[in-house]
Amino acid sequence: MSARRGLSAIALLFPLAACSSGGGSNYPPLPPPGAVGGAGGTTTPTPDGMVTITFVAPMSGAMVTASTDLTVSVTVDDSGTDFIDSSSVKMTLVAPSSTAILSSGQLVASSSAGNAYSGTLSIGALSTGSYTLSVSAQSSGGIKATQSITLSIQGGPILIVNSPAEGQPYNDSLTIEILVAPGANPPTAVLAGMPVTTLMKATTPNTMYDVYRATVWFGPPPTPPGAQPFPTLTGEQLLDVKETDGMSTTEVQRTFIIDTSGPSITNTTPAAGQMTGGPVLVSAKVTDPSGVLDSSVIAIIGDADGNPVFNLQLEPEGSGVYSALFDTLNLTQCPPPPKTGPCISFPTISFRASDSIGNQSSLGYNFYVDNIPPLADLDPPQLRQLRIGPNGVECSFLFDPLSLNTFRGDMPNDRCMVPQVFDLRARIDDQGNEPNGIKVVPVSGVDPDNTAIYILTDTTRPLIVDSDNDGNCDTINPLLIPTTGPLTQSDQVLKLRLAGVKPAGVADFRPDPSILTANPALECGEGSATMPPKVLCTVDGLQQPTIAIAAADGEPGVWTLEPINPATCLGSQLDTRANNIPDNQWICIAVQSADLNGNKAVSRVMRVYVQYDEQGGFCAAPPSSAGPPPPCMGTYDPSSKEDAVGTCNTLTFDPSDLYYIPPGG
C-alpha cells in the first residue's frame, strides 16, 4: 500500500479539527471482509481455529500528532487449519463513544513474514483527545476478529468555520464566522488571495468559543457600512483560515461559490417577432449554478402599457425547461375587418426567474398575434390599380380581380347561369389583428393545405352555417360529407383544393375619362398607357385577365383550381358533368380557408344555375323555371347535431377599398 493512500480522507476531516470531543464523518461503514471462494467455487469451507491480532506498532496509549501519517504494524494468526484472507485485514480510527469512521486503510502482508501486516493511516486535523484504532481480519473459514488500542492524538488549536458552508453559493455579500477556544489568538483568514482585515471578535452568548466575524462585499460600489470591499468575483472561491497557539497551527479551507447574476433565460417560445395565434406554448430554458427557484419562473404577457396582463407560472419539465400553455384569444381581440378598435397585435412577453440565493433576471420582447382568419370571396368588388406614371399618381380602368366578365365560361358572379364548364376562382387575403393606427399588419399567411372550395347540389340544405350561435357563418356544414370525386349522394359536398396564383401582370392604364366624372374624390388621375396590357395567357383562343393580384403581404391574392401552368395561367375550370353535378339546377359554392395559425373562416356563398348547353353569353339570367336562388346558408347545433336553413352573416371585401397597389408599387 502506498504511504499516501489515505490522504483522500483529509479533506473531510478538516471540519472536525475544531471539535474538542471529536465529531461525525461522511465516511461509509467499513465494508465486510471478503468471502472465501471465487467464480469457480462450489463448496463452503468449515471454520477452524481462532483468529488472533496482535499490535506491534503503535502501542496502546501512544501519543500521535494530528495531520500526520501513522504506520500501523500487526501480526495476524489463525490457530487452526484455515488461512488469513489478506484482503480482509483493515484498520479504522474512530472517536470515543462513536462509530463514525474518521480514517481507514488496508494492511498489507509482509513478504518476509507471513503473519506480519503493515500499512499507513492518515491522521487528519483532529482535535486533542483519545481515539480508538482498530484492526479487523477474517480467516478463510469465515472466522472474524477485531483488536483495538487507544491512541492519544495531540491536535492543533480549536478552529471551527461556521460560514461559509462548503460548496454553497453566495451573492453580493458574505459573512465569515469562525470559532476558536476561549482566550485563544485571533484567527486569520485569506479569501481569493486577499487577507480578510475586518475579522473582529463578536459579542455573543456563546461561552464555549470565541466568535469572530467579518462581512465582505463583492458587489458594485458603494460598499455597505462595515463591510470589506473585494473585487467583483464570480465562480468557485477559496477561504483559507488558520489558528495558531505558538506551537502548532490548525488550518481549515473552504471552497464556496460567488454568484451575483440571475438565472440564464434562453430558448424562449414564442420567439421575438414570432407569429402566433390561438393556444401557444410559452416556454424557456432557465439555468443557474446556484439552482433555480422553481416558483419564481413566470412569464408576464400584456401590451406595451402592461394592460391587460397575464401572469403565467411556468412549470418545470426537466433539463432546465419550464413551460405553460397560453391562449392568445384571452388578449383583447380585434374585431373582424373592416372594423378597427383597441386590441392586441404586438403583445409583450417578459420571462422572469430567481436563483436560490435571490439573484433575479428577466428577458422581454414583443411577439405577433394573428387571431383573424383569411377573408375569401367568390364575387369580390372591382378594383383600380395605382401606379406612379407620367401623369403622377395614375389609376387603371376598373377590373374584376377574378374574371374578364366577357365569355361564357369566365368566372361567374352570384346568381348567374353557367355552362357545363366554367372558371372557378376566389380572392383570398389573410387578415390580421389590426388596431387603429397600425402601419404593417402582421399575418401568418393562408394555409394551402386547409383552403378549398365546396360545391353542394342539394340546395334544400345549408352549405355554410353558424355553429356557435353568434350570427356569423363560420364553417362548412359538418353534416355534409366532403368528397373529392364525382357526387354520388345528396348529402355529399364536392371539395376541391385551391392553389394560389403567383402575382403577375398589370391592369389597363390607358386613359379613362370616367375617372374624375364618375368620382371626383378619386386620389389619382387618368392613366398614360397607349396600348392595352398584355394578357397573362390565352386559353382555347380566349383571353384571360391581364393581372393576377397579390394579397396585402405579397402572397397570392387569387386562388384557383389546379393545374396552374403557362397555358392555364389562372388555373383550371370546373367540369360540372364530370363531377356528376346535375344539369338545369341551382348549386351552392363557398370557400373555406384557414391561416397558418389555424384561424378558419368561410366565404359568402355564390349561387349559380347550371345549364350544360347555355348559349346566352357571360352571366346570362337563369330561366324563369329555375325559381329563386337558394339561401345556401343556415345554422348548425353541435348538441343536437341538426342543421337548418336560415341566415348568417359573412365577411366580404370592402367595396370602398378601391385601390390595388402591387407589392413594391
pTM, whole model, 2 decimals? Answer: 0.67
Question: CA-CA distance, 108 to 118, in Å (whole number)?
Answer: 5
Q: How far is CA 168 from CA 144, 223, 236, 290, 570, in A?
A: 43, 23, 10, 8, 71
Residue 545, φ and ψ in degrees, nearest 5: -55, 160
Q: Element (H or E) spanning 299, and its range?
A: strand 298-302
Whether residue 356 lies inside any domain: the answer is: yes
- Does the pLDDT value for residue 578 go beyond 50? yes
Q: Tell me, what's the pLDDT at 523?
A: 73
* End-to-end Cα spacing for the chain: 88
Whether residue 182 lies inside any domain: the answer is: yes
Cell of residue 273, nine digits: 417577432
Q: Element (H or E) spanning 514, and its range?
A: helix 514-518
Question: CA-CA distance, 459 to 586, in Å (whole number)?
Answer: 7
Question: CA-CA distance, 355 to 349, in Å (whole number)?
Answer: 20
Question: CA-CA distance, 404 to 420, in Å (whole number)?
Answer: 18
With a CB cutoff of 8 Å and minimum separation 6, the contacts of 194 are 230
Cβ–Cβ under 8 Å, residues 296 and 282: no
Q: Tell me, what's the pLDDT at 343?
A: 83
Domain boundary among 191, 223, 258: 258
One-letter amino acid for residue 227 of the chain: A
Kindly state whether residues 180 and 323 are assigned to the same domain.
no
Whether residue 486 lies inside any domain: the answer is: yes
Q: How far is CA 598 from CA 105, 315, 336, 444, 485, in A?
A: 70, 26, 16, 9, 26
516-569 pLDDT, tens per residue? 765 666 678 899 999 999 999 988 878 889 999 999 788 999 999 999 998 889
Q: Tell me, what's the pLDDT at 521?
A: 65
Would you call 135 helix, strand, or coil by DSSP?
Answer: strand
Peptide bond into 205 cis (omega under 30): no
Q: With CA atoms as reference, report the closest residue to 294 among 331, 256, 322, 327.
A: 322
If one counts the domains in the chain, the total is 4
Q: Tell me, what's the pLDDT at 513?
A: 85
Q: Tell me, what's the pLDDT at 254?
A: 93
Q: Tell me, what's the pLDDT at 234?
A: 86
Kindly state whether residues 237 and 303 are assigned to the same domain.
no
Q: With CA atoms as reference, report the closest residue to 501 among 385, 618, 403.
A: 403
Q: With CA atoms as reference, report the closest residue to 412 among 401, 426, 422.
A: 422
- Does the pLDDT value for residue 219 go beyond 80? yes
Q: With CA atoms as reference, report the closest residue to 604 among 596, 615, 593.
A: 593
Would you call 517 helix, strand, or coil by DSSP?
Answer: helix
438-492 pLDDT, tens per residue? 888 889 999 999 999 999 999 999 999 999 999 999 999 999 999 998 999 999 9
pLDDT confidence tier of residue 26, bands split at 50, 70 and 90: very low
Kindly state whether residues 387 and 409 are assigned to the same domain.
yes
322-373 pLDDT, tens per residue? 999 999 988 888 877 666 677 888 899 999 999 999 999 999 999 999 989 9
Cβ–Cβ under 8 Å, residues 651 and 375: yes
Kindly state whether residues 245 and 271 are assigned to the same domain.
no
C-beta atoms surrounding 614 within 10 Å = 21
121-167 pLDDT, tens per residue? 988 778 788 999 999 999 988 999 999 999 998 887 888 899 999 98
Q: Tell me, what's the pLDDT at 473?
A: 95
Q: Tell me, what's the pLDDT at 418?
A: 96
Kindly state whether residues 183 and 329 are assigned to the same domain.
no
Kindly state whether residues 200 and 175 are assigned to the same domain.
yes
Q: Are strands 504-505 and 585-594 parallel, antiparallel or unpaired?
A: unpaired
Q: With CA atoms as reference, report the closest residue to 84 among 60, 51, 54.
A: 51
Question: CA-CA distance, 131 to 172, in Å (whole number)?
Answer: 42
With a CB cutoff of 8 Å and minimum separation 6, the contacts of 591 are 376, 377, 378, 426, 428, 451, 452, 453, 454, 498, 559, 602, 603
- Does the pLDDT value for residue 42 go beyond 80? no
Whether residue 200 lies inside any domain: the answer is: yes
Kindly state whether residues 283 and 364 are assigned to the same domain.
yes
Question: CA-CA distance, 652 to 544, in Å (whole number)?
Answer: 24
Kindly state whether residues 114 and 175 are assigned to the same domain.
no
Q: Tell me, what's the pLDDT at 206?
A: 85
Question: Average pLDDT of 247-275?
Answer: 91
Q: Tell me, what's the pLDDT at 440?
A: 84
- What CATH number did the domain enclosing 124 receive? 2.60.40.10
Kindly state whether residues 179 and 132 are assigned to the same domain.
no
Kindly state whether residues 254 and 269 are assigned to the same domain.
no
Q: How far is CA 269 from CA 297, 318, 324, 391, in A?
A: 14, 16, 10, 50
Cell of residue 648, nine digits: 348568417
Could you tell me which residues are beta bridge partners of residue 447? Answer: none
Q: Report which of residues 488 and 260 the model is more confident about.
A: 488
Whether residue 42 lies inside any domain: the answer is: no
Whether residue 648 lies inside any domain: the answer is: no
Domain boundary among 137, 154, 171: 154
The number of angstroms, rounded, from the C-alpha of 74 to the middle of its chain's C-alpha atoms is 64
Question: Average pLDDT of 191-195?
Answer: 94
For 497-535, give one letter per residue: b (16+ CB within 10 A) or e. Answer: ebbbbebbbbbbbeebeebeeeeeeeebbbbebeeebeb
- What CATH number did the domain enclosing 304 receive? 2.60.40.1220
Q: With CA atoms as reference, report the closest residue to 162 among 239, 104, 247.
A: 239
C-beta atoms surrounding 575 within 10 Å = 11
Torsion angle in degrees (nearest 10) through CA of 458, 464, 465, 471? -130
Please provide the DSSP assignment of 196-255 as one string. -TT-EE---S-SSSEEEEEEEE-SSSSPPTTPEE-----EEEEEEEEEE-SS-EEEEEEE
- Does the pLDDT value for residue 10 go beyond 90? no
Length of the chain: 665
Domain span holding position 564: 375-461+480-620
Q: Are strands 558-561 and 538-539 parallel, antiparallel or unpaired?
A: unpaired
Q: Tell me, what's the pLDDT at 648?
A: 94
Whether residue 362 lies inside any domain: the answer is: yes
Kindly state whether residues 413 and 444 are assigned to the same domain.
yes
pLDDT confidence tier of residue 627, bands split at 50, 70 and 90: very high
Cβ–Cβ under 8 Å, residues 632 and 605: yes
Quote the mean pLDDT of the chain: 87
Domain boundary among 231, 258, 285: 258
Whether residue 472 lies inside any domain: the answer is: no
225: exposed, middle or buried (Cβ count in 10 Å: 0-12, 13-18, 19+): exposed
Q: Tell me, what's the pLDDT at 303?
A: 66
Cβ–Cβ under 8 Å, residues 496 and 457: no
Kindly state whether residues 451 and 539 are assigned to the same domain.
yes
